Structure 1
Amino acid sequence: MVDEALRAARAVQSRLRDLPSRVVIYLILAACLFPEVGYPGVWRKLTGALAGLPVAAPTASALAQARRRVGSKPLRWLFDLLRGPAATPYGPAVRWRGLLVVALDGTTLTVPDSPAVLTRFTKQAGNHGGTGYPQVRLLALVACGTRTLIDAVLGPTTTGETTYAPRLLPSLRPGMILLADRNFAAQGLLSDITATGSEVLVRLKNGRRMPVLARYPDGSYLSTLGPVTVRVIDCEITITTTAGKHTGLYRLATTLLDHHRYPAGELATLYHQRWEVETAYLELKSIILGSRVLRARTPEGITQEIYALLVVYQLLRTAMADATSTRPGTGPDRAGFSIAWQAARDQVILAAGVICGTVIDLVGTIGPTRPGQPPAPASVTRQPPDRQTRHVQVPGTRPPHRPDQLQSHRQHRHPRAPSSLTTPPEP
């Protein structure tokens, strides 16, 4: 796949080098598994298990030049090849009444505050989570059942989510139902979405006036959003967290007009699946990146790094979907992402299966490891991502997320010299 991506992007090296383009792509992808170290540290992890083989020892400057030489196009090509809802048999957790459930939403990634970066990416107005860094907007279309990426687009935060959204519409198909927040309830955007043949379930602002054309026995009513005929559902949703219960009013609109086939109560329950895209962003930003600032210090390098992150995330999610498909009744969204990520890190350090001629298996050790260790039972009420405790990030550090991590976090910021360096050696 990497060789084909390099050929398609015309990024194959023109002469034999210590760092061939293929190896540079491996380095960029592996860096997403080890965000806590620099590129020289990632190189040592990639080559540490290759005992007895002649291995290059490039400098940090050589690694930087190699990444610039390869560029971002091969990573974008790889993402376009791998993106999709995952090639696994669709079970009840993936489809709803025959429709593939997908969700659309955006997030931001923090990038270095360098002069080159500021020529394209700007700082957000106001104080967002305590960061004064520039940010990149990322908008993704996610398959809710597998949390795999169907498509994604990125760019400056000066452009809003609804402006980026039309670039993702070519990935919508008949047989899908798109879940979206009220930010995407613009009449023109909904009209463009329905033109793809995809169904829509979107939240509206509670105060939005909707004409009542007909009422149905399940409490929903027929209305219009510009040229689009919709069915409106007013519902009361209660969220249970450790802090107690919170009840709010939701107004939903859908292009599924048959109230017999698509009852209002089931649609209100289905809308909760929109949180899967928020969970995907949580996995990408908190587990993979560990709330860190991206490495790259140029706009092209940032594009390269983000597409590498998307490729690695998609590979992990695809492997998890393959692994859970061997356990009947276990949905891909019930597998623990952090364990799959750690399993992938272990395989890279061990250089597992890197010699030509060996069998390539994406599942690898994730297969036997992941299905036997499910997360909390589905009956346990999970806290929505936007209601979790927020931590102010200290620039250049990773904030502790649990009390039991506090001591190790302090040691990371204020390391003590090992005892072997302070005690005189034995005679």
Structure 2
Amino acid sequence: MPSPRSFTDGISIGVLTRLFDRDLVDEVLVETGRREKRSRLLPARVVVYYVLALCLFFGDGYEEVMRKLVNGLRFLGTWRTGWQVPSTSAISQARQRLGEEPLRVLFERVAAPMAQPGTKGAWFHGWRVMAVDGVIVDVPDTADNLEAFGKTGHQDGKSPFPQVRIVGLGECGTHAIVAAAIDSWRVYERELFARVLDDIEPDMVVLADRGFFSYELWCQARQTEAELVWRISDNVDVPVLEWLPDGSYRAELLPKNMKSDLKRGRRRSVPDEARIAVRVVEYMVTNRGGKAETIRLITSIMDHELAPAAELAALYRQRWEFELTLDEVETHQMPHHRLLRSKTPELVRQEIWALLLTHYAVRDLMLEAAEDMDADDGLDVDELSFVRSLNAVRRQVTNQAGFSPSPVEESDSRDD
């Protein structure tokens, strides 16, 4: 008769383990050197699932989240007795042992664009529509967090909490965040964007707001071979070289120092490789206050027949889809006060990666649901409620937490 399995062998996070299955988590733990050589009350695999659960139940304390995670296990009859919900201190120590790296690597292994060729709202003339944007979140006001992240300054003084900046790359049609960079609020968005450039593919068109533009970053982004549609500020000088039939015009970008010399009348030869050809699209919108505002876009798509100005203006509106994505994380997953739990910089980053992982898993479920609702044509995932989907996942966690996502051999318990 086989021996009862360790109680912790069955802990998972229900429906979300379809993406973060036991074998994948174990692979990541081995890769990051976090797999234990001896048995613990809280093995590293359990702590990974627990940190993900923390990001689903932000309003609950450490011990209460653990109770939800193991709901029903004691009553299955095949588990070793004697396991008790660990104390808050024990759970905190287990999080510290795990560290940031396994959650970061797990995100990098799992997060990828979700849209299929037929996914509604995800494509523009064969390019996958992506956007980049950033958000700042508050973290607990501890000495370690203050030293690592600092507080922002403003007219009325400093912010009440240290703050972390997150810049993400997201798929507009599915709201899936596929890459991210995390640092202090002092690190500008452009620098963080440069850290996710490796995740941009040639089949993408990437949208960005005016805060991201610089000549150097544009050149780096173009090296990915993706197409770009970025807004630029009014003070960026892009003289008209040729008007095109759709109302856009050809222009070129030059390095800042070369433009300055030319403006001062200094004769200077500009090498051809420094001249970056772009198309410029300008149009007017009415903002929330009823005031007219000019939007200027530059794009690497030079064919005005393939992508007319009006289509590019409509495309740029898709950038708001990614702002809504960040709002889903900041407003609906996080508590109303929008303050993370973690009191040390490494655990702050661990918590953020877990937030991104759980958001990605919810969005993956939503896309599958949208595609299943109408087998003939599919449903636009934007028609589904993120809040309702998140609540459904929370219910699944508490209802199914007692069932491991994959069969467990008796020998597995010795590894922990």
TM-score for both structures, normalised by structure 2: 0.81
Q: Are 1:313 and 2:359 counterparts? A: yes
Aligned equivalent of 1:348, options 397, 408, 412: 397
Is 1:195 aligned with 2:223?
yes
1:207 offset after TM fit, Å?
Answer: 3.9
Change (3 A) 1:97 1:313: same
Shift of 1:136: 0.4
Q: CA deviation at 1:56?
A: 2.4
Instruction: Give the secondary-structure state (helix, strand or coil) at the position aligned to 1:297.
Output: coil
Structure 2 distance, partners of 1:220, 1:334, is 33
- Larger CA deviation: 15-24 vs 207-216: 207-216
Letter in 2 for 1:21: A
1:13-71, Cα deviation, whole Å (9 max, x unpaired): 22111211111111111000000012111111112332425342211111111111111
- Asked if 1:275 corresponds to 2:320, the answer is yes
The aligned counterpart of 1:379 is none
Q: Aligned with 2:196: secondary structure? A: helix
Q: How does 1:244-283 map to 2 (within 5 A)?
A: 245-283=290-328
Match of 1:124 among 152, 156, 168: 152
Structure possessing the higher relative contact order (Cα contacts under 8 Å, 6 or more residues apart): 2
Equivalences for residues 333-344 of structure 1 within 5 A: 333-344=382-393
State the shift of 1:215 in Å: 0.6
Q: What CA deviation, in whole Å up to 9, does each residue of 1:197-251 have, x standing for no partner?
A: 0111111112433211111111111001123211111101235x6xx74532111
Distance 1:333 1:3 in 2: 34
TM-score, normalization by structure 1: 0.79
Moved over 4 A (4+): 127-131
Cα distance in 1 between the residues matched to 2:149 and 2:127:
38
The residue number in structure 2 matching 1:13 is 36
1:160 lines up with 2:175 in the alignment: no
Whether the aligned pair in 2 keeps the contact of 1:142 and 1:150 (CA below 8 Å) is yes
Question: How far 1:357 sits from its partner (Å)?
Answer: 5.0
Question: CA shift at 1:90, angstroms?
Answer: 3.9
Judge which range, 95-104 or 246-255, deviates more: 246-255
Structure-2 change in CA distance of 1:96 and 1:356 (3 Å): closer
Of residues 283, 286, 289, the one that matches 1:235 is 283
In structure 1, what is the Cα distance between the partners aligned to 2:341 and 2:399?
Answer: 24
| Per-residue deviation, residues 154-205 of structure 1 (Å, max 9, x unmatched) | 0011111111111111111112111001111211111111111011111111
1:104 aligned counterpart, secondary structure: strand
Q: Point out the structure with the larger helix share.
A: 2
Q: Which residue of 1 aligns with 2:272?
A: none
Distance 2:382 2:30 in 1: 35
Distance 1:311 1:151 in 2: 11
Give the conservation status (yes or no) of the 8 Å contact 1:185–1:204.
yes
Task: Indicate if the aligned counterparts of 2:204 and 2:226 stay in contact, CA closer than 8 A.
Answer: yes
Displacement of 1:330 in angstroms is: 1.2
Which consecutive residues of structure 1, in runs of 5 or more, have no partner in the other structure? Answer: 359-427
- CA distance in structure 2 between the aligned counterparts of 1:44 and 1:127, rounded to whole angstroms: 45
CA RMSD of aligned residues (A): 2.0
Alpha-carbon contact 2:32-2:102 (below 8 Å) kept: yes
Contact 2:115 2:122 in 1 (8 A): no
Match of 1:23 in 2: 46
Tell me how far 1:321 sits from its aligned partner: 1.3
- Residues in 2 aligned to 1:64 and 1:290: alpha-carbon distance in whole angstroms: 20
Question: 1:190, 1:228 within 8 Å by CA — same for their partners in 2?
Answer: no
Worse-matched range after superposition: 206-215 or 105-114: 206-215
For 2:387 and 2:106, the matched residues in 1 are separated by: 23
Q: Which residue of 2 aligns with 1:86?
A: 114
Distance 1:128 1:310, change over 3 A: farther
Aligned-partner SS, 1:19 = coil
SS of residue paired to 1:101: strand
Aligned in 2, Cα 1:8/1:357: closer, same or farther, shift over 3 Å? closer
**Does 1:4 find its partner at 2:27?**
yes
Structure 1 vs Structure 2: percent identity of aligned residues?
A: 37
CA contact (8 A) 1:88 1:321 kept: no
Match of 1:290 in 2: 335
